[in-house]
Chains A and B, each alone.
Chain A
């Protein structure tokens, strides 16, 4: 374990987890002096009946009847402003966000507008612009992957001006995260697989990237072990409530880890692949994770080796020579992807060339890799990667990930 001379760690979110955690919402709201929350979600979540489950669980002890279910897949400034008006017009006093990353970001944006009585959300963009606590926000994730229920950032897009506003503040952390197994029970296996691997990439990158610290490490190690054990079970038996809850908790642990120690090359290339080709983030993470490990192995072998214990258990850990443990971690994560590929009937892609769109056409044609490699140079995740990266490095990793072949580590440039 590395002991940095200095680090910062913060997670002040109250986490309530269980098979019936949603029923706790009225008490939690009343404790905070709130009685009329605005529930925000998206059409997909509402259509799957998840907001109905939340409404039934809340009952009539608080007035949670106002539900806005039209959050778009990409957070949008106009939607934030419209829903903030809805909040004010109906004299709401708290926000309940039910959904994934976009719903959470939208909820955080609304909370800034209504708490600061702001006209211009832009005035609060950047890091540290918020100076006081916001209205109570309850986050209820409906996937087990993003960890956005415990992160202190939000990204809101102004589609009219083509601007992406990023907000960062400890005040953006939700007050409460509710992890309830019912929220993910209906998630299809291939989405469960890729969102679960997103959580795995948070936990693993948080463990070997530059801002790691003993507190984020503890969260990472717990998350890695739980995901490796429970993800295949949740994908194989979607209605297994215990594995669903375990995955929700693991994704939350991974979220706490990475929001305090950041991520690296895997997210760097994944963000770029997502923005250039529009492919799901979780799938990019699943595919790129073994390559991120391989690329950084010469700098972080000892640290990566420690991941073998939560992944494979004591017997395998002790039976593996220390110098082979990091490589064993890479093999086991590749093996996990293979396993998920098999369980999902091939829908969980193992390499970039296997990702297909709805019509079955390849989503990431090989000739687009140079464009992805260039786009990755504009993404901040590279800062926290242990080894430096340039265009050629990005290209080399992408080519290997496209083909699905292990990275030729002799080609990694070392200083």
Chain B
């Protein structure tokens, strides 16, 4: 008779739901920003054809998968569906994911605190981080975005900031 019982961690449904919704929205926003923002477009163009990356929480998600197909950037949902993933940005736990994605801890600080694991080529991972930073600036008000990114781009022209924001939000909500 076994006297050792497996200890299951709590499911944390609210945190899981928050992180899942955030990743779903961000994935769609990346797809949108790749059409709206010249810098994001340029970053993706430098990545190989069929490049795919994922961002999510260990050990069992949720995840966001974004890939490039025939030059078009697409949000592929929460599962890579057998597609090879070149870069995986894994947050060590759901709790850490919640801290980062609710902006209680900046991405930079999370990296410094060893909460993120990068699996894949560093130059590609750096490009993804730059893309994520731009997308966060579009999605979030300055006060919150300043917590998420290392440097808020206050030098962006109003046309880029506000025009881009409208474009990204519209496309994200419509999924186009």
Name A's B-contacting residues (CB within 8 A): 4-8, 126-127, 210-211, 377-380, 382-384, 387-388, 413-415
Q: How large is the interface on B (under 10, 10 to 19, 20 to 34, 35 or more residues)?
A: 20 to 34
The answer on a CB contact under 8 Å between B113 and A4 is yes
Q: Which residues of A contact B117 (CB under 8 A)?
A: 127
Does B123 sit at the interface, judged by CB under 8 A? yes
CA distance A383 to B122 in the complex (A): 10
Q: How far is the CB of A250 from chain B (nearest CB, A)?
A: 25
B108 on the A face (CB < 8 A): yes
Q: A379-B123, A414-B151 are in contact. List 19 more A-B contacts (CB 8 A).
A: A4-B112, A6-B114, A7-B112, A210-B108, A210-B111, A210-B112, A378-B122, A378-B123, A379-B122, A380-B122, A382-B126, A383-B126, A384-B111, A387-B151, A388-B133, A388-B150, A388-B151, A414-B154, A415-B153
C-beta contact mask, B145-159 vs A, less than 8 Å → 1, else 0? 010011111110000
- Asked whether B113 lies within 8 Å of A6 as measured between CB atoms, the reply is yes
State whether A5 and B151 are in contact (beta carbons under 8 Å apart), knowing that A378-B122, A380-B126 are contacts in the complex. no
* Docked pose: A211 CA to B110 CA in angstroms: 10
Q: Is the CB of B112 within 8 A of A415?
A: no
How far does the alpha carbon of A211 sit from the alpha carbon of B154 in the complex, in Å? 26
In whole Å, how far is B155's beta carbon from the nearest beta carbon of chain A? 6
* Known interface pairs A378-B122, A382-B126, A383-B126; A211-B151 also in contact (CB < 8 Å): no
- Chain A residues, CB < 8 A from B149: 388, 415
Q: How far is the CB of B157 from chain A (nearest CB, A)?
A: 14
B69 contacts partner chain A, Cβ-Cβ < 8 Å: no
Instruction: Tell whether B45 is near chain A: CB-to-CB under 8 Å.
Output: no
Inter-chain contact total with CB atoms closer than 8 Å: 52
A37 to B158 alpha-carbon distance, docked (Å): 66
Separation in Å of the B164 CB from the closest CB of chain A? 17
Known contacts A126-B119, A210-B111, A377 near B151 by CB under 8 Å: no
Report the minimal beta-carbon distance from A208 to chain B, rounded to whole angstroms.
Answer: 12
- Point out the residues of chain A lying under 8 angstroms from B114, CB to CB: 6-8
Quick one: closest B residue to A392, CB to CB?
B155
In whole Å, how far is B150's beta carbon from the nearest beta carbon of chain A? 4
B144 at the interface (CB under 8 A from A): no
Q: Which of B112, B119, B125, B126 has a CB less than 8 Å from the CB of A211? A: B112
A210 CB to closest chain B CB, in angstroms? 4
- Check: B85 CB closer than 8 A to any chain A CB: no
Q: Encode B30-45 as 1/0 by CB contact (under 8 A) with A.
A: 0000000000000000
| Contact flag A415-B119 (CB < 8 Å), given A6-B113, A380-B126, A383-B126 | no
B109 proximal to A (CB < 8 A): yes
- Can you identify 10 A-B contacts, CB atoms within 8 angstroms? A7-B112, A7-B114, A8-B114, A127-B117, A211-B113, A378-B123, A383-B126, A388-B149, A388-B151, A415-B154
**Interchain nearest-CB distance for A75 vs B (Å):** 18
Do the beta carbons of A383 and B111 come within 8 Å of each other? yes
Residue of A nearest to B117 (CB): A127
CB-defined contacts of B151 to chain A, threshold 8 Å: 387-388, 413-415
Do B126 and A7 touch across chains, with their CB atoms under 8 A apart? no
A127 to B118, CA, bound (A): 9
How far does the Cβ of A226 sit from chain B's closest Cβ, in whole Å? 26
A292 vs B158: C-alpha distance when bound (angstroms): 31
B154 to chain A, nearest CB (A): 6
Which residues of A have CB within 8 Å of B108? 210, 383
Does B129 lie at the interface of the complex (its beta carbon under 8 Å from any beta carbon of A)? yes
Q: Which residues of A contact B122 (CB under 8 A)?
A: 378-380
Tell me the smallest distance from the CB of B134 to a CB of chain A, in Å. 11
Q: Which of B123-173 contact A (CB under 8 A)?
A: 123, 125-126, 129, 133, 146, 149-155
How far does the alpha carbon of A413 sit from the alpha carbon of B123 in the complex, in Å?
23
Q: Which residues of chain B are within 8 angstroms of A415 by Cβ–Cβ distance?
A: 146, 149-154
The residues in B between 97 and 112 inclusive whose CB is less than 8 angstroms from any CB of A are 108-109, 111-112
Q: Which residues of A contact B152 (CB under 8 A)?
A: 415
Q: Nearest residue in B to A382 (C-beta to C-beta)?
A: B126
- The distance from the CB of A298 to the nearest CB of chain B, in whole angstroms, is 11
A257–chain B nearest beta-carbon distance, Å: 15
**Across-interface contacts of A8 in B (CB, < 8 A):** 114
Residues of chain A within 8 A (CB-CB) of B146 are: 415
Residue of B nearest to A209 (CB): B112
B45 to chain A, nearest CB (A): 14
Once A388-B150, A414-B151, A415-B154 are accepted as A-B contacts, the answer to whether A210 and B109 lie under 8 Å apart by CB is: yes
* Assembled-state Cα–Cα distance A377/B152 (Å): 18
Q: Which residue of B lies closest to A212 (CB)?
A: B112
Whether B129 pairs with A5 at a CB distance below 8 angstroms is: no
